[in-house]
Chains A and B, each alone.
Chain A
Amino acid sequence: MKMADQTVILRRNRAGTKAENFYKWADEAYEEMDSTLVVQQFIQQSIRRSHTNIDAILAAPETQDEGVWKYEHLRQFCMELNGLAVRLQGECQPATCTQMTATEQWIFLCAAHKTPKECPAIDYTRHTLDGAACLLNSNKYFPSRVSIKESSVAKLGSVCRRVYRIFSHAYFHHRKIFDQFEASSSLCKRFTVFVTKYSLMSRDNLIVPILDEELVPQQGGESQA
């Protein structure tokens, strides 16, 4: 162990680590990661390096199983979307946003209930994220994070569709929050590229115009919210 201490970097956030040093350790090559959570590690490492370099973040290592790659990315999206939900909690009131809408075209029904119902936008956001957390952690559909059944991979599309509505609602109704959040994480842009790249959503549904025009300033901070 002592030998190992001297030769191996222990990648740990020990108690007392300052916020600026949190996760600040030398990158580990994908090939050298031997944990079962290697994909998550690798994705988070790329995001920490630079959240704006979306192509690099979404570039899967050659040997990587695509189902797991998509799954882990979606986990990461749902996790980071929590930051947007927290920001929305402060502003998006059930009284003002009584329905989950983006453009006037659609009212989204919340699928978390036995019979889908018109939840206020903030409830829709929370329920969708909670539901996604349950599904993506379900022992039934995703018992392993190393290999995933083809039938389970098919579930990812519907999760993507639902969580995307959070972006669209924020974009069309809480633009300020959306812009702040996007600046700090490039999450919507990354998500759009992600679902396009892996054909998880149809282009028609991607209503936030984020790829065509560079609406969002890209020099955000390092926070990974």
Chain B
Amino acid sequence: MDESSSQNQIGGGIPSSSATNRQNLDEATPRVQYSIPGILHFIQHEWARFEMERSQWELEKAELQAKIAFLNGERTGQENLKNDLVRRIKMLEYALKQERAKYHKLKFGSDLVQGSGEPPPGLLDDLGDDAGRLDGGIGDTSASILSCTASNASWKQSRQLLRQYLQEIGYTDTIIDIRSNRVRSLLGISGGEGSGEEGTGGGGTAPTINGGSELTAAKRPADQTPLRWTQPKKSMTSLEAQIKDAEKAVLENFDFLASEADMEVDDDDDDDDQEEEDEMNRMKGAQNLDGDEEGDAVDSLDQDFRYLSGSADLEDGSAAAAAGFGSRGVFVGGGGGPVGGEEDALEGLGELAQLTVTNEADTAYDISSSKETYRKTWSAKYTLRSHFDGVRALCFHPSEQALITASEDATLKLWNLQKTVPAKKSLSLDVEPVYTFRGHMGPVLCLAITGDGEKCFSAGLDGDIRIWNVPSINVDPYDSYESSVELGSLSGHLDAVWGLCCHPHRPQLLSCSSDNTVRLWSPQPLRAPLLSTYHLLKDGVPTSVDFVYESSNQFVTSFDTANCVIYDLETGKPVTRLDTDSADSSNTGSNLTRQINKVVSHPTLPLTITAHEDRHIRFWDNHTGQLVQSMVAHLDSVTSLATDANGLYLLSGSHDCSIRLWQLDSKQCVQEITAHRKKFDESIFDVAFHPTKAFIASAGADALAKVFV
């Protein structure tokens, strides 16, 4: 009010001589400018300032929130990873236990089947857990499943239930048994039981386990195996269609069994084992299985089993186990081919996955989903420049960060990825070779390295296969010449050698040549290295060769006629002829355009993968020879394939200048990388996975090789 009054005074324009008045005047002089627009302007200015500050704060807040979200995401990522790893650990633990139990049983099978004591708590944590949960749910499970299976109409419903229970109890003994019965009945080995479903259904009402108990008990660990396969994906009819293979698979598995039966069981009195046995029995008891049928099944499988005369020392228990293995074979064969969504976890386990299976049925889904989220993206890191002409082949050292390349410039080069040259661009590093192998007189076309990384083999247009001692990867590139690096050569082929394959565990080398032969060598004693020559004239010119890793004594060869055949290593006779004639004929060119450029065998599954000139990659079932899947994979002919050591991913290279990474279970392309340039109409000759480290590599006609991490 004072102010306003003084303003009024000033406004009045009355001059005053009093001190106070003068003071007022002095103070008031600037106030004269407080006009309405001035105030408004001031307020607007202030408001704008506040607004700006607010928006800054908001920005800051958003930033912090983003950071929080990012960190949260990272955390969940880590957690998922951790869960994933824990799962894997559990799986492995469980697998180990299973193995122990199995060995125990093979030796003392009949001794242990009668007991059914409670497991001491705490000894077998997760197994006990599962078993406990199983105890609760198992009666229901079997009952409902058994009744449901009475007709095909209710099959779907039971499948739903199955899934539910799988998730709930994570333990599926009953299911496996039922399915094994079902398959057996389909196989026609269940005697006069009528149809399998009815038989099983009848069995479901039988209240107790009968004479077949020891068989079922012994069978259990084996039965667990097919768990993943048997998750109902296929209809019964398709199962029927594959029965033949199943039988074959049964027989094949006996070999494996024989060796296993001979193995010593180390820890016989192990509490864990005992307990596990007991538990098995208990669970079996709860399943109310029809013993007669079980017995019949085992009998008939036993007949098959006689093929195994060599392993005469098998006892009853182990025989029963053998039957169990047989049924495993059935499932592997009959599970609708090796391609299923659930493969992921299995493949993650590698070898082990074939022997035992996890206790949690849904693990597969979890793992695959977590993989989906935290998938690695590969990027070019090393460029390997030193060759003068196209790089035809490359292979990684099995354990070191090193690789060998083979080129049309007639040399091989050894590269140590840890010895890099700083390059202009920081993104990729240049590597210089640490050693150059000189010995070939013409283009080198193929390359293979032994499992221990000590020797490598190369072959090319001159038809000789050369053997090399792989020098230390820390060798001085300008050291003096050591003639001991060259170990000699394997002569025999009369024309260009296009494919070499060295078995990772056995001293065996396969080579295929355009002289229409495939040869098997034993490069260890150099006196008589040639073991066999397979003349394959009628199928065409062999283009690529690989061992079949899933079976011990077979190899697969592809031809320029698009044929692809699995042969027996001993006899040289065809075992399975992949049905390439009826393969989708969307591209009906001449034989040349459908030619197979590369064939690889899956490291663990009975699956063969072929790369075709007609841009396709095709997947084949080794047992049936049937096409599993065919896909247009590239824009130009596919030249090379590689699978990682676990069989989870497939890498393909093509003359369209790109390499592609595929997830093997879903057959989805995960990544595409344009890697090389064209020389004439060729671009990429070879791709490779490092067997133990996270590296992939490609070799191109532009004389470069690239390594991706």
Contacts and interface: CB of A to CB of B under 8 A. Distances in A.
B615 A1 contact: yes
Contacts of A138: 385
Contacts of A203: none
Given A12-B681, A225-B442, A139 B386 contact: no
B481 A89 contact: yes
Contacts of B541: 16, 18
B438 A2 contact: no
17 contacts: A1-B636, A10-B681, A12-B682, A15-B639, A18-B496, A19-B461, A22-B496, A40-B679, A79-B410, A83-B410, A86-B439, A86-B441, A110-B478, A119-B480, A139-B421, A139-B424, A223-B441
Contact of A126 (B421, B481, B499): B481
Contacts of A16: 498, 514, 540-543, 559-560, 595
Given A79-B409, A79-B410, A224-B442, 5 more contacts: A12-B680, A18-B514, A41-B680, A120-B480, A223-B441
Nearest to B432: A134
A59 interface: no
Contacts of A133: 386-388, 433, 436
A22 B478 contact: no
A76 B559 CA distance: 33
Interface string A70-114: 000001101100110110010000100000000000000010110
A5 interface: yes
Interface string B421-432: 101100000101
A140 B499 contact: no
Q: Number of contact residues on A: which range applies?
A: 35 or more
Given A15-B598, A18-B495, A41-B679, A130 B544 contact: no
Interface in A1-48: 1-2, 5, 10-19, 22, 25, 28, 35-37, 40-41
Contacts of A110: 478
A37 B389 CA distance: 10
Q: Report which residue of A13, A35, A78, A122 has the largest number of chain B beta carbons within 10 angstroms of its beta carbon.
A: A13
A122 to B, nearest CB: 5
B442 A15 contact: no
A182 interface: no
Contacts of B540: 16
A161 interface: no
A19 B388 contact: no
B440 interface: yes
B655 interface: yes
Contacts of A37: 677-679, 701-702
B383 interface: yes
Contacts of B702: 36-37
Contact of A82 (B411, B639, B655): B411
Contacts of B525: none
Contacts of A5: 589, 593
A130 to B, nearest CB: 6
A136 B703 CA distance: 12
B613 interface: yes
B498 A15 contact: yes
B524 interface: no
A17 B104 CA distance: 55
Nearest to A8: B681
Interface in B101-131: none
B438 A139 contact: no
B419 to A, nearest CB: 12
A89 B441 CA distance: 12
Contacts of A137: 385-387, 703
Contacts of A79: 388-389, 409-410
